[in-house]
Each structure stands twice: as structure tokens, then as C-alpha cells.
Structure 1
Amino acid sequence: MTFVQLIECRTRRFDEMDRLMDRWVEQTKGKRTATHTLVGKDRADAEHVVEIVEFPSYEEAMRNSRLPETDKVFRELLALCEGTPTFTDLDVVRDERSYADTARRFFETIAAPGPLAPLDGLLAEDYHDHDPIEGQDAVGMDAMRRKLEMWRGAFDFSFLVEDQITQDDRVCTRWLWTGVQRAQFLGVPNTGRQVTMAGTTIHRFGVGGKMAEGWLQYDRMGLLAQLGALDVLEK
């Protein structure tokens, strides 16, 4: 879960503080775990400074704080502050930008070679997958894994994410799927052909930033045509 630390302090020496932070960034290049930092001044009180630092997780934040450079900079920072800075630790429960990253990781994870990785960090336990082409929706983690294993057993495939649009708790991803058939698929014998398929998935995110529901649209008829299945039906 994404973690954010909110740091507040009072200082009349902001320019020195800013240079100090630049030095810390340079000294920790390749080692720091923070993914995004934002510094702001209070419009009503210029001596009130707020820094917001984002990390992939609380554990990564703690690893960052244990860097020798971080400890040294913090001691120098104290000398520039009037009083002791305050720290507020926040687990991020909603972040639209993070939702898009999670959706992208989902497509990367289900296409990765080898055994299917655990999905509990991406999907809610009661995830509901709406697939208009399937006879029945996949509801729950186990049902979703069975559906994915069916595709993974028939093809070696990858996704190219072409577009993502985020609004509130939903992410729409337009993707291009490329696969090579390796086993029977929906009664179609293995052809060994490389095939492509365009599609769109809308994910709704719930508690803890996990995907709770998904709606798919994709060109399965086009896929079957590439596999030669429609030629058989026409005869």
C-alpha cells in the first residue's frame, strides 16, 4: 500500500533548507526510496512549510529513513527549524494516479511468464469480472484465477497499454493483446499462430486501492478468425 509522510515545520531560513534538500537528493541518488516529493509554503504564513513525501510502502519509507545521509540531513534540518518538525504517517486509501499504475501492473502480472503470481495485492477478494462474451461472470479471486489460467494455458501473450483514462475510482485502459497459441482454445486445436486482439477494460477501485470490479470489451470474433475457427464454421 502506498505510504505518504507529511512533514511540517516553521523556518525563516527556507532558502537554506531548500539547498539542504537538493544536497540530500544528490547524495542519495540510486538509494532513496521516495517516489515523489512536494514542498509547499502556507499562503497565510510563509514560515509554515509543509513537505509531502510519497513511498511505495511504509517499509520502503523506513528503509529510506535508515540511510546515513537521511540521518545527517535531518540533524541539519533541525538547526534550520524553529521548534521540532511534526510528522504525520498516512496510508494512502485513494489515489487516482496510483489506480492507473495498479491497473497497468495487473496487465503486466497476468501476462508474465511462469506460474501466475498472487493477485491479492491487486484484486479485492470478492472481485467481480463482467465479461459480455462469457456465459457467466467471474466472481471472487478463485474464479478470476481460473479464467486467467485458461487464457494463459492456451497462449503465450503480452499486453501493450495504449491509453489510460482515470476518473474518480475508475480507470479505463485501452490495450492491444498479442499472443502465440500453444494449446487448444475454446475447441480450436493448437495452430501455433501469432494473433492480436484489441480491447478495453474499465476497473473500479475499492478499499485499500485494490480493483473491486472490471468490465471488458474485446474482439474475440476477430481472434477466432485469425485462428481459422470461423473458416471451419463457414464450411
Structure 2
Amino acid sequence: MAARAAPAAEPGIVPRHVAIIMDGNGRWAKARFLPRIAGHRQGVEAVRRVSRAARAAGIEVLTLYAFSSENWRRPEEEISDLMGLLRHFLSSELDDLVAEGVRLRVIGDYHRLAPDLVRMIDQAIARTTAHAGPTLVIALNYGSQAEIASAARRLAEQVAAGTLAPADIDEDRFAAALATQDLPPLDLVIRTSGEQRLSNFLLWQAAYAELLFIDTLWPDFDEAALNDALRQYGRRQRRFGGL
């Protein structure tokens, strides 16, 4: 496998693929003596702001961690509120995404969601699938360990069927079995709210991504915060194991 060339790290360089762990909605609401749903509503507004700012900055792919496979452990009322906000986002934003040529992708086992919501997601994906512009990826009922295990099973099935030799399984072959197989390599992972962990998000893809943990709570994250993150990214030297 050929070594990946390290790109220049000039200030102002724009990463092709940025992923964000959107954290802090609950703490934002608690600090204001508001119910958690108020924080989630403001979080949706932040999604609108940041997705538009990412397109303006020239980012090709923005991946947002919206609902993890572990989030099912939250109270049923909160989960219902989150799904309601997702419905509202799809219905209110889809026309703009279509008009701007944005391709919508969803990774994760979203078919576990309510049937009407699954239909909305499928229809939104279908309306934007032919777009050649920037891509907005929403991670729904997503867990990276499950994604990796699923990829391993698919490759094992090919080996068992005699269509793939074990010796042919390398990093590229494995990456091609992941949900992100047709996306650019992940360049930058941002996590808001001060927590410093990946929380089962894009573990394989983040192997050589730059990680940026910031204190800003997600509802307060905006274009200025994104641009600051991009400036920090531009100052880093990405060696990919080289000198």
C-alpha cells in the first residue's frame, strides 16, 4: 500500500472532510434553567448555521454526529423530542439543500427509527443523490464499533464464498466496506463542550484526522467558531507518520 503524501499545512488551508461531535445541548439549557429540549432546539439552529458556513468555506463533506446507537439509553421523552426535531429539520431544510445542490447522506442503522421518519430520510436522500455539490452526512443510530464489525462480517462472507482471498484484505479493502467508502478521507474532527473523547464516532476514519476539542457548547457554535477551527487546522503539520 503506497504511503499517503502529507499535504502542505499552510494557514488557511481548507480540509475536505470535517466531522463534528455536537455536544453540549443539555448543559446549554441547564445553564439557562430551561428544559433539555430547548437546548436541542438551539442545537438544530446551530446545525443550520454551521452547515451553511461549511459550504461557504469550501468544505466538501460535513459529517454531523446527530444520534448515536448509545443515545437510545436516554429518557423516552427526550428521544421523542429529538426525532421530532429531525422531522422538522428535514421538512424545513430539504428544499434549500436541493436548491444549493447539496447531497444528503445518512450513515448508521437509521431504519430502526419510526417508519414515517425512515420514509422522510429515504425521500430526502433520493432527492439529492444525483447532486455533485458539497455533501452533508448525518450520523443517525450510528456506532463506529458496530460499523467496523459489520464491515468485517461482509469481508468474511466474501472469503467464505470464495470471492475474496484473505491475503487481499488490506486497509483500502477494509475502508471500502465502511459506510463512508465513497467519501474523502476524514481530515478534522471537532468536538464541542470541552469533552475530549470520540464517543464511538468514526474510529477507523479518524486514524490520521486532526482532533480539535473546544469548550464552546454546541448551541453557541457558529460561523466564527468554525472559521477559528479551520485556522487551527491550517496551522497543524500533518505528517501521516513521516517527517
TM-score range, shorter chain: under 0.3
Instruction: Output the TM-score relative to the length of structure 1.
Output: 0.23
Rg larger for: 1
- Greater share of strand: 1
RCO higher in structure (CA 8 A, sep ≥6): 2
The alignment's TM-score, normalised by the length of structure 2, stands at 0.22
Higher helix share: 2
